[in-house]
Structures are given as structure tokens and as C-alpha cells.
Amino acid sequence: MTPRQQRMATVAGILVGVSAAAWLGFQAFKANVMLYYDPSDLAVKMPPPGERFRLGGMVEKGSVEKTSGTLDIQFLVTDFKHTVPVKYSGILPDLFREGQGVVAHGRMKSGTFVADEILAKHDEKYMPPQVAESLKKNPPPPNISAPYESGGT
Amino acid sequence: MIPELGQFALILALVLAGAQAFFGIFGAARNDLRWQAVVRPAVAGQFVLVSTAIGVMVHAFVTFDFSVLYVASNSNSALPTFYRVAALWGAHEGSLLLWAWILAAWTLAVAIASRNLPVSFASRVMGVLGFVSFGFLLFTVATSNPFERIFPVPADGRDLNPVLQDPALAIHPPMLYMGYVGFSVAFAFACAAMLEGKLDQVWARWTRPWTTMAWSFLSVGIALGSWWAYYELGWGGYWFWDPVENASFMPWLVGTALIHSLAATEKRGVFKSWTLLLAILAFSLSLLGTFLVRSGVLTSVHSFAADPTRGLFILGFLIIVIGGALALYAWRAPLLKSPAGFEGTAREAFLLYNNVFLVSAAAMVFVGTLAPLIADALKITPLSVGSPYFDKLFPMLMLPLGALVAIGIHAAWKRGQLGNHRRRILAGFGVAVVFGLTLVYAVYGRGKMLTPLGMVLGIWIIISSLFDPIDRLRRRLTLPRAVLGMTLAHIGLGVGIIAISTVESYSVERDAAIAPGETLALGRYAYRFDSIKPVEGPNYDGVRAEVTVLRDGEPVALLHPEQRNYWVQRSTLTEAGIASGWNMDLFVALSKEVGGGRWSVRAQLRPLIDWVWLSAAFMALGGVLAVSDRRYRVRAVAAEPAVAQGSAAEAT
């Protein structure tokens, strides 16, 4: 091959490599994007069955039910318009509390959200931005204490 | 009165930074030696002033001056002295102060070390650094004054966030900032070269030690943060692809590419404009990291400010710095000519492949980290990118890179002459395959698909790196520190790949609810929950469990996981119990009581996990060794003698 052909071959090789990498990257990206839903979104439109997504809202006061002596827990996530029952088995983040914001990852299974991960954020003033956004859309009734302001010190 | 002195010092430092930028850049442009003579005193003065400000802040913390808002927000009378000092960078304002101080310190080091460089070049470097410093000081003074007072003075402070009360985390931000800010020196060298319109191999030699040093600090900083997350956040694991982690990882990836491309530029004069671009990119990503973490865009433990003006300021600053540098690049880079001509298997080519993979990895992380923010900003549906995205793509980029490292180490400059080293390459590969597969299938048992691949590659890289130094010793040649450092860093890479492959594949993890007296089986190991007792510390109380770990029925370790309640912020914190061994970590975290006298615990076996952090330590140590090499201390400005063609013995 002449040097010119060699250069062209190199360029072609790089192009093929880059496109392949971009395609793989795009596929991986598409497969792992998780959309965010709040209870009102779910009331309007359910995600496709089996799809893993994020559910955010407040843990409804008085809704947490633990099975004594196990890691199983059930509670309701609410945005003060709609509620979704959530089931989880595992260790809860330190800051999981009734009446506070929560984001859970998981799937819907016959009307219940089965969470495989409850988000652990280590600041009690923290509110997942989407939860804050959801609550702005659906302000809580005044008798419920304001969750907590977002942001830090 | 004293806090106002700190603020006053900061404002004076801002003025000096402005002078440093102006007289540095325009003094060099006008070739005015009197203007340029102002630069060094301005650098020294700025360092003294910012140090004064830091000193004032430390004083306020140590003496419990709760009339200072920042102290009142981040300290408490029960906080131990060590953390009162570390609380300085526990939140937004103090972090900026630390950033500014580290920048002043780096600049001072440049001012001292650059006395033998051409005057105009040194002035330009310090001028650019002055500009960066000016931006940060202006930001601090205008939007985030750390010395703001509070009235009425509170009786006590709100305490430092408990998760930050930890030795590793106390030094994590300074290390990280040493890295971030250190890249500003490489950036300034790049800008100065573009302003001069001249970039030669001597330039690369000046730039290399600074860049490598910054990269070493960044490596340590990232590893400390990861280690801290492992034992302090309480859930095991060393990397979560959390946005704040990614924010520090992107500059590291590009910085790694930069130190390699600088090597090619120094030795062979190639990749000049690419090196410049990487230098701009590394610092831009450092700024972006600061922006992402500090602006409140990412809400997490790291984000302190929810103030949009701050975010806008940093964003504006980012645009000016990056945009300005890129414009300069577009204008000047075409002037730089790299002598073409090296073969596809030459060392230059391998460094190029290295760069392609590292920059692709950085781009991949960038997309995954910023896509949610962009979707959010454009008001498209909120989304998040799960860690499987990173877990899948990152090895796809890193494993080929590992193979290229194992082969490329043998390549000579200009002409690869890999044929001469065929035996080394094949022997290394053969030994690696035997060892790696034995380790996988005979010791650990079948794991994930990528595990044997990672294991073989890691061992191959280590063997490949050892050939050259051993060869030198056998032939009684000198072993320069640069070679030693490079070898150590590459061994670190190999160790890291082995460790990650192992821990990803052979970790055992179980969550359970158990009562005192019960035992949790975990492979050959068993965790026996012996007892639980109340515990009290200087500023917290809680419970402390005693867990005996048994191996084949024999006790091997005693763990003490805790669940702490910090009084002032009323937050709960899990303190994991960990027994580290050379080949395995035994880990247990204690969570809440779940009724019936049972407690929820997470028990883990993490083989080789400590080697993940040690690999970063190897890399950092390698970097420091390389920087201490004699050849960087050569004072002469004289041009470099031509490099012997195709000499494989040349150090990188």
C-alpha cells in the first residue's frame, strides 16, 4: 500500500471503530436510562410492564408496616393526590422516615411497586429534586408540615 | 475584628490577582520587563494574603467564634479540634477559600521554579494563573464570603455534617483540590505556549512534572473519597458512579491521557496541538467538577449551595475560561506543526491509542453524568442513568486499553520494532494466562465473564512493566526514577485491574435481620452476632454491636459496627465494622432494630478490595517518583539535543 492508501485505511478503521463504539454506547445508554414517575404520573400512565423506573414522593405518615424480625417493609408513597403501595426487603437508608421524601428504584407488580433500591442520601435536608418538583406541582395540604427545604447549609 | 481582617486580606488578594493577570499577560505581550517584574511580587503577596485569610478562618474555628456564620453553621463546641480545622472545607465558602489558597500555593511554586524559564513565558504562565485566581477570589468575595457575621451570635454551632467527621474525608478535599488546581498549571503552560505561538519539546519537559504531580494528587484524592464511601457510608463497595464521583473521575481520565501525550510531545515532538487540547480539557473538567459539585446542580452530600447566583457565576466563569482557551486554541494551534512519521506499532502510536481510549472513557462518563442534567434543563422527562450503563461500557474501553498497555510498553519510539520483543510479549502473555486462569478457576472459582480476561490482563501488564527495569539492572545500566515511577504506576494499573475483576466477581453479600446469639452464614465464613451495647462519643451516642467472624468454625476477626446518633444535627450514621486482610475484607454494617430483638445487618466478603485503593497509591507514588527524576531539575534553558532515533531505552 502506498502511504496515502495506508492513511486512508487508518482513517476508515478509526471511523468504523468510533461508530461501533458510539452505537454500543447508545445501546447501553438506552437500556439503562431510568425514567422518573410520581404517583400522579402512574395514575395517568403506567410504564410498560417489567420496566425498571424511579418512583419518588413522600412516605405517607402512619403507612409504614414492618414485618417484625425481618427486613420486609411496606409503605405508601404519596404526592398528596395519589398514593402507590411500595414493598421492599432490605436495609433502609439511615434517613428513611415517615413524612419524608424518598426515591425508590424498582418495578410495578400487580399494583404494587416492588423496590430493589431505596435511595440513601445522607443529608436530612436533602430532597430529591424531582420530589421537590412533584410537590411543587401538587402542594401538600397545609396541615402537613412542610417536608424540608431543599439545599444545604 | 479578626474575621474582618480575613475578608480584607481576601479583597487585597483579589486586587493582586488582577495585577498579576494584567501585568503578566500584557507585560509579556508588550515585552515590557518593568511590567513583568510586578508579577512575582504579586504572586508572593497573594499567597501571603490568602494564607492570612485561611489562618483567620482556622483561628475562628479553633476559638469557637460562632459570630462567624460559617463557623456557626459548621462547627460545635463538642466538635474535636482536628475536625474543627477540617470543618474549614466542610462546606461551600470554606471550600472555595481552600481552592483559592491551593491555587496561590501552586502559583508560588511556579514563581519559584520558573526563574530559569524565559521571562515572557513565565510571566504569561503566572498571568493566566492570576486570571484563574482572580475569578475564584471574585466569586468568593462577591457571592460566598466565608467571613460573614451572624447576629445575634448563637450560643452554639450547628455542627459539622457527621458524615464528614472522619480522618480520610478530612484530607480528601485538599488532595482532590491539589489535583484539580494543579491542572491549572498545565492549563496555564498551554495558554502561555499558545500566546507565545511556540511550543517545542522543552515546553513539554517543563510542563510534565507539574502535570504528573497534579495527577498524583488527584489519584490520591479520588482513592480517599472512594475508601471513605466504602467504610463510612456503610454499604460497602468502592465506586457507585455517583455524579460527584464521576465529576472527579473525568479530569483524572483526561489527565492520564495528558501525561502520556506529553511524554510523546517531549520525546518526539508529536501531538503538539492534541496535548494543548488535553491540557485545556483536563482543567476545564476540573472546573466543571467544582461547578457540578459545588453549585447545587447535583444534590447530594457534596452540594452545599442551592444559591442560583453562585451556579450562574461559576457557569459564566467556566464559559469565559474554557471558551477563551478554546478560541485561543483555534487561533494558534494551526501554527504548531508536529513532524509526522511514526509507524502504527511505534510507541507514539500506542500512546495515541491510549489517548483514544482514555478520552472515550471520559466522554462516556460525561454523557452518563450530564444527560440527566441536560434532560432536566431542557424540561424533558426527568431521567437518570443507572450504574449498569457505566458498568457495561467502562470495561469495554478499559480492557482493550489494558492489552495495549501490556504490548505498547515494549514498543520503541518512531519504529515499533515489536518483532524484537516478540519473545517478551509472548512469554509475558503465556505466564499471565497460566497464572490468571489458575487464579480464576482453581482459587476463586468461576466468576463473571470478564473476570478471567481482567485477571490475565492485569498480570500481563505487571509482567510487561517489569521487563525493562530488570533488563536495565541486569545490564548494569542506570535506572532513572522516571522509569521506576512509570513502572510503578503501570504495576498499579495491573494491580487495580486484578483487584477490580476479583472484587466485582467474588464479593459475597447478605442482608439479614438477626438477633444476638444468631449466626449468619456467608460462604466459608459465618458472622456471629454476639451482643449489642450502648455507646457514647464526644458528640454522639448510639449502639455498638460485637460480631465475631468465623472461618470454618474458627474465629478469625472481631468486628464492631456502630449505629450513631449525632446530637446536634440529629442524624443517624452507620459506622461499619471492617477487618482488612491482605486478600479479603470482612465487612459488617449495623442498621436499625426491626422488632423481636432483631437488627438488620449487611454482611459482606470483599476479596482484594483494599488493592483497589492501593493501586491508586502505586500510581500516585509512581507519579511522584517520576517527578523527582534528575532530568526535570536540569536548570539549563538550552535546547534539547536530538533524541536518538528509535531507542527503546528512552524513558517515558
User: What does the pLDDT look like over B630-649, one tens digit per residue?
Assistant: 888 755 444 444 443 334 44
For chain A, say whether B543 makes contact (Cβ under 8 Å). Answer: no
Q: Do the beta carbons of residue B189 and residue B279 sit within 8 Å?
A: yes
Mean pLDDT of B81-105: 92
ipTM: 0.74
Task: Burial-class residue B374 by CB neighbours within 10 Å (0-12, 13-18, 19+).
Answer: exposed
Closest residue of chain A to B296, computed from CA coordinates: A151
For chain B, state the CA radius of gyration: 26
Q: Is B7 helix (H, G, I), strand (E, B) or coil?
A: helix
Torsion of CA B380, B384, B388, B390, to 10 degrees: 80
Q: Give the highest mean pLDDT range of B225-234, B260-269, B312-321, B382-391.
A: B260-269
- All residues of chain B having their beta carbon less than 8 Å from the beta carbon of residue A21 are 360, 397
Torsion of CA B527, B533, B538, B540, to 10 degrees: 80
Q: Which of A32, A123, A129 sits opposite B301 (nearest CB)?
A: A123
Of A25, A32, A150, the CB nearest to B388: A32
Residues 126-145 of A with CB under 8 A from B: 126-130, 133
| Residue tagged 494551534 (cell numbers) | B333
pLDDT (0 to 100) of residue B642: 40
pLDDT recorded at residue A41? 86
Q: pTM here? A: 0.90
Q: Do A91 and B163 touch (CB under 8 A)?
A: no
CB contact at 8 A, B270 and B348: yes
The arithmetic mean of pLDDT across residues B555-562, rounded, is 95
Between B167-196 and B201-232, two packed helices, what is the crossing angle to 10 degrees? 160
B359 interfacial to chain A (CB closer than 8 Å): no
Closest CA to B512 of B605, B601, B604: B601
| Residues B183/B103, Cβ–Cβ less than 8 Å | no
CB-based contact B461:B402 (threshold 8 Å):
yes
CB of A124 within 8 Å of any CB in chain B?
A: yes
Q: For residue B220, which amino acid is it?
A: V
Is it the case that residue B574 has pLDDT exceeding 60?
yes
Q: Where are the alpha helices (DSSP H) in B233-307?
A: 243-268, 272-294
Tell me what the mean pLDDT of segment B292-312 comes to: 58
What distance in Å separates residue A19's CA from the closest CA in chain B?
12
B508-514 and B525-536: which strand pairing? Answer: unpaired
Closest CA to B166 of B638, B576, B640: B576
Query: What pLDDT, on the 0 to 100 scale, is given for residue B627?
Result: 95
Q: How near does any CA of chain A get to the CA of B573, in Å?
A: 7
A25 touches chain B (CB under 8 A): yes
The verdict on a CB contact (< 8 Å) between B301 and A127 is: no
CB contact under 8 A, A129 and B344: no
B-chain CB neighbours of A150 within 8 Å are 299, 306
Instruction: Give the mean pLDDT of B115-131.
Output: 95
Residue B166 at interface with chain A, using a CB cutoff of 8 Å: no
CB of B157 closer than 8 Å to CB of B64: yes
State how far the Cα of B569 lies from the Cα of B92, in Å rounded to an integer: 18
B218-250 pLDDT, tens digit each: 999 999 999 988 887 767 788 988 888 899 999
Residue of B nearest to A18 (CA): B360
Residue A64 forms contact with B (CB below 8 Å): no
Q: How many residues does chain B have?
A: 652
Q: How far apart are CA B53 and CA B504, in angstroms?
A: 45
pLDDT at position B170 over 70: yes
Average pLDDT of the residues in B144-155: 90
Phi first, then psi: give them for residue B308, nearest 5 degrees: -65, -30
**Does the structure show a pLDDT above 50 at A150?**
no
- For residue B346, the chain A residues in CB contact (below 8 A) are none
Q: From B511, B512, B601, B605, select the one nearest B550 (Cα to Cα).
A: B605
Instruction: State the Cα–Cα distance between residues B94 and B147, nearest whole angstrom.
Output: 9
Q: Is B95 on the interface with A (CB under 8 A)?
A: no
Say which DSSP state A144 is in: S
Nearest-Cα distance to chain B for A142, in Å, is 24
Collect all residues with Cβ–Cβ distance below 8 Å to A22 and sequence separation of at least 6: none
Contact B140, B53 (CB under 8 A): no
Q: What sign for the dihedral angle of Cα B292, B297, B301, B303?
A: positive
Looking at residue B47, what is its pLDDT? 98
Nearest to B189 by CA among B237, B123, B259: B123
E strand or H helix that includes residue B598: strand B598-607
Q: Label the pairing between strands A53-59 and A33-37.
A: parallel
Whether pLDDT at A140 is above 80? no
Q: Which of residues 564-603 of B touch A (CB under 8 A)?
A: 569-574, 589, 591-592, 594-598, 600-602
User: Region B200-227: what's the mean pLDDT?
Assistant: 95
Residues of B in contact with A32 (CB under 8 A): 385-389, 392
Minimum Cα–Cα distance from A66: chain B residue: B594
Q: Verify whether the Cβ–Cβ distance B385 to A120 is below 8 Å.
A: no
Q: What pLDDT does residue A144 have?
A: 40
- List CB contacts (< 8 A) between A124 and chain B: 569-571
Per-residue pLDDT band at B103 (split at 50, 70, 90):
very high
Grid-cell match 437488627, residue found: B599
Residues in chain A, total:
153
- The pLDDT, as a whole number, for residue B493 is 98
